Chain A
Amino acid sequence: MADERLRADSFLPLPEATFHILLALAEEDRHGYAIIQEVEKRTDGAVKLSAGTLYRSIQRMLEQGLIVETRERPAPELDDERRRYYRITAFGSEVARAEARRLTHLVKLARVSGFSPGRA
């Protein structure tokens, strides 16, 4: 597993859009537009992914093995034939965790220097 972790580290730092997409897929499989909505909701509207950025990221993440297109569809009444659904892979989760670790470490370093997010 050390190998897997090493390989995950090689993706860092993750592009912001990639990280957001991984987070949005953490709970359930989503299609493209749902990802955009989820990201927007989680960030209180601060991050609005554009269609181009989304699919460019998705294309690359598929190649990198961070996500897969899923064949399982939700209940037919909720499904739209045109939509593809994406699921995070185990490796994708590993990479997201690695990125979270990296960010946590950064925040720690900032605290030591007196840049606490709490205090301005």
Chain B
Amino acid sequence: MRLYNLLVHLYPAAFRNEYGEEMRAIFARRERQARGPLGALALWTSTLFEVVVNALAVHWDILRQDLRYTARALAGTPGFTLTAILVVALGVGANTAVFTVTDFVLIRPLPFSEPERLVKLYERLPGYSRMELSPVTFRDWKRMSHSFEAMGAYVSTSVNLVGQGDPERLEASSVSSEVFPLLGIQPLAGRLFNSTDDRIDSPGTVLLSYGLWQTVFGADLGVIGRKVVLDGAPLTVIGVMPRDFHFSDRSVELWTPLQVRDDDSFEDRNNNYFGVIAKLRRGVTIAQARSEMSVITAQLCRQYPKEMAQHGATVNPLHEELSESSRMLLVALSGAAICVLLIACANLASLLLARGLARKKELAVRTALGAGRERLIRQLVTESLVLAVSGGALGVLGALGSIPLLAKLVPMSLPVNQTPSVDWRVLAFAALLTFLTGIAFGVIPALRAGGSVDLGGLRDGVRAGGGRRERVRSALVIAEVMASVVLLVSSGLLMRALWRLQSRDPGFRTDGVLTMRTALPWPKYLKTAAREEFYKQVLTEIRGLPGVSNAAYISFLPMVWRGGIWPVSLDQQILDRAESNSASLRFVTSGFFAALGIPLQLGRDVDEADTSDRPFVAVVSQSFVRRYWPNENPLGRHFQFGFHDRMVVGVVGDVRVRGLERPSEPQVYLPYQQVPDGYLFPYTPKDLVVRSTTTAELLLPAIRRIVQSVDREQPISDVRMMSEVVEGETASRVLQLRILGAFAAVAILLAGIGIHGLLSFAVSQRLHEIGVRIALGASSSDVLRMVIRQGVTLAAAGVALGAIVAFAAGREMEALLAGVEPGDAATFLGAIGLCALMTLLGIVAPAVRAVLVDPIAVMRSE
């Protein structure tokens, strides 16, 4: 019987109260009639089934009723309904969208096996915490360390693919044979590299990415075993990698073995270009690996005091590789999205509270008609959940629609797909948010409204919403204002930072500059003379095109590649690299400075006469001169750089090689002919700069024809305007700011609605009081003051709290601020001004209504 009593609890309380007693009586009778254990078993089985089915059915009946009632009630107040749904949609949508990206980029484990054991290794130099390794250091670390199960190296390169349609430039990665097994990746077809492939004398092999295999090779498995021509060398395709595999970043389309010649450059410990990835041995922690690596680097320091002085090792979990600014960007957006959700929830709660109060009478009538408290609360919960679920669904739809836009927030450097996939986690997150919104911010007001139902609500002329509930709503409004101040200030600070960055002088002029890459392959262009031929022909013809004022080549355009930083020596002494004795190395053809608009300040440009049999010369940037020969004439001075003694023949303005956000090393430009055959091949000029008054659409076909006529197999890639390169520097910030700005706009709007709603409600609840005051002689300005005081007090409290939180948030994201102070007065004033404006707008209507109160009409209505 006790069990049956429990079962009866499956029914809704109202039903149980009504019929529970009789059902128990019937069951008791049946139990007495049941014969033997078999009879009892049969009775229990059927009862169990019967109770569950009927209880569900009763619940369903009530739900249907409630839904019908809700639909009617909501349809009757379309303004409220639409506002509530929209508010929830905004909150849930913003969070779902941001969570999709945040989860994809920051939370989800990388798509490798045991990703938590994967680490990246770097050399640490004073001033550089993450420097690639030199091949020889990689060999030493690998030999000496015990913390790692495996260690592999890779180098990003790009290659020209010829013989499959138009020549194509492809991003590639040379990886040592350890890398793929260490990631736990199996090929889709064929095999991975083995240690034989790593040897310099072994026949060339290549692995294709799924994308390349699909697009260029028509998804033909027969390609395995075939030879393809990369940079003029025939390589055998040995396999195809799986669809969603990316390494070391998303741009890489094929992999070749990392073959390193054991020669002079191998022994050069300052020749850092190996990316290194390793897998921790099972049970070894990062801290243990770090301490072992510091012992090893100390040992190498003693062994090679000259090159390795002050060198250390950085061991970083692979999943933390994301740049600090990418991480901050997402964290900031997540914070903003949460603010929006909180504001939305506060608004929803406030709306429901007001509605609850307004419906007090209706609820009292229903109570009088016999509806139990539980039944009423259930009805109110259904209502708030219906609102939340409708809003949530709308929000998720919006979020899904915004994913293509948000995909731009996924950094290129991650070894994952570009477009975040929406999986069950995202949907579960959205469902949870929706549910919490519905429950927390709908049910609590419902409980309060439902809980206080008394027949007093039936009396006519009941006034005032009750101080307590108004206090709750006031707190909600303060929270809304606070959150919108935080969002406004954050957006403001980031906007100032963006403006500051955008106004930074890159050191060159972008207008009318078209750039593209023609990377000359090795070994075809191994000899300097062969390259000279190519550049001369191409540049001469391009310069002859109508509208072209200048054209030139450089190894890498500023901001396009930020590396290539070399140590500087004076008087044959390697200078301490710790004291920033480094400079970026670039080879250029003559005319580069003119083409890119970098001012020549002293001396001359490199020219065609600077051949390899002439004295080796260099053009250096102003900061280089300031560093080594301050207040002296630098022309004719010598220094050692890039394996050779160089004499300064010219000085040019500084450019931001490392982009707008970071300071750059001084720059050294070398004439393209003054390099021995085969040396520094990666620095071969490949980026073409063309300054013209013609449009790119007209210019490009002509340039393509010229390049094709000089070398039919030479691909052209990375065609873009120089202005796009510079804009790319701030593209993710612009996007972030747009999103944040939209959030802030929504926030301030919602806060305004919140203030307006609260004051309107307060005024309507106090009509009688106001009427009495006016009747007793209060002037309209007194009444006005009363309403305004309430609005301004709320806004001021919200602004004060918001300013404090905003300052703290600003300090947190200082890294993103490009030097703008977290307490930037203009930004704060702007945000506060906007809040004041919004408060004013929110106050107007209720204030007018209060002033227009007709005391006689109000009192007569009693």
Contacts and interface: CB of A to CB of B under 8 A. Distances in A.
Interface of A: 31-33, 36, 50-56, 58-60, 82-84
A99 to B, nearest CB: 21
A51 B58 contact: no
Given A51-B50, A52-B51, 14 more contacts: A32-B19, A33-B26, A50-B46, A52-B50, A52-B54, A55-B19, A56-B15, A56-B57, A56-B58, A59-B15, A59-B19, A59-B58, A59-B61, A84-B22
Contact of B22 (A51, A53, A56, A60): A51
Interface string B1-34: 0000000000100010011011101110100000
Nearest to B53: A52
B26 A32 contact: yes
B55 interface: yes
A55 B15 CA distance: 9
B61 A53 contact: no
Nearest to A82: B21
A34 to B, nearest CB: 11
Nearest to A32: B22
B47 interface: yes
Contacts of B53: 52
Contacts of A53: 50, 54
Contacts, number: 50
Interface residues of B, number: 21
Contacts of B29: 33
Contacts of A33: 22, 25-26, 29
Interface of B: 11, 15, 18-19, 21-23, 25-27, 29, 46-47, 50-51, 53-55, 57-58, 61
Question: Most B CB atoms within 10 A — which of A52, A56, A59?
Answer: A52
A83 B24 CA distance: 12
A83 B22 contact: yes
26 contacts: A31-B22, A33-B25, A50-B46, A50-B47, A50-B50, A50-B54, A51-B26, A51-B27, A52-B23, A52-B50, A52-B51, A52-B55, A53-B50, A54-B26, A55-B15, A56-B15, A56-B54, A56-B58, A56-B61, A59-B15, A59-B18, A59-B19, A59-B58, A82-B21, A82-B25, A83-B22
B514 to A, nearest CB: 77
Given A52-B50, A53-B50, A82 B22 contact: yes
Contacts of B11: 52
A49 B555 CA distance: 90
A8 B46 CA distance: 33
B511 to A, nearest CB: 78
B46 to A, nearest CB: 7
Contacts of A56: 15, 54, 57-58, 61
Contacts of A55: 15, 18-19, 22-23
Nearest to A57: B54
A36 B26 contact: yes
Contacts of B22: 31-33, 51, 55, 82-84
A114 B18 CA distance: 48
B67 to A, nearest CB: 16
B127 to A, nearest CB: 79
A60 B54 CA distance: 12
A45 to B, nearest CB: 13
B66 to A, nearest CB: 14
A106 to B, nearest CB: 26
B21 to A, nearest CB: 6
A36 B29 CA distance: 12
Contacts of A31: 22
A21 to B, nearest CB: 14
A31 B21 CA distance: 13
B585 to A, nearest CB: 85
Contacts of B19: 32, 55, 58-59
Contacts of B26: 32-33, 36, 51, 54
A58 B61 CA distance: 13
Nearest to B23: A51
A53 to B, nearest CB: 6
A52 B24 CA distance: 10
A37 to B, nearest CB: 10
B126 to A, nearest CB: 80
A51 B46 CA distance: 11
Closest 3 CB pairs of A and B: A52-B54, A55-B19, A50-B50
A55 B57 CA distance: 12
Question: Most B CB atoms within 10 A — which of A50, A51, A54?
Answer: A51
A32 B22 CA distance: 8
Contacts of B18: 55, 59
A111 B47 CA distance: 38
Nearest to B51: A52
B27 to A, nearest CB: 6
A54 B51 CA distance: 11
A68 B21 CA distance: 19
Contacts of A52: 11, 23, 50-51, 53-55
A2 to B, nearest CB: 27
A84 B23 CA distance: 12
B165 to A, nearest CB: 70
Nearest to A31: B22
Contacts of B57: 56
Contacts of A59: 15, 18-19, 58, 61
Nearest to B22: A32
Nearest to A59: B15
A71 to B, nearest CB: 16
B788 to A, nearest CB: 52
A83 B18 CA distance: 11
Nearest to A62: B18
Contacts of B61: 56, 59-60
A26 B15 CA distance: 25
Contacts of A60: 61
A57 B11 CA distance: 14
Nearest to A36: B26
Contacts of B51: 52
A82 to B, nearest CB: 6
A21 B29 CA distance: 20
Nearest to B20: A55
A31 B23 CA distance: 12
A84 B20 CA distance: 12
B35 to A, nearest CB: 15
B519 to A, nearest CB: 79
A59 B54 CA distance: 12
Nearest to B46: A50
A51 B5 CA distance: 13
Nearest to A33: B26
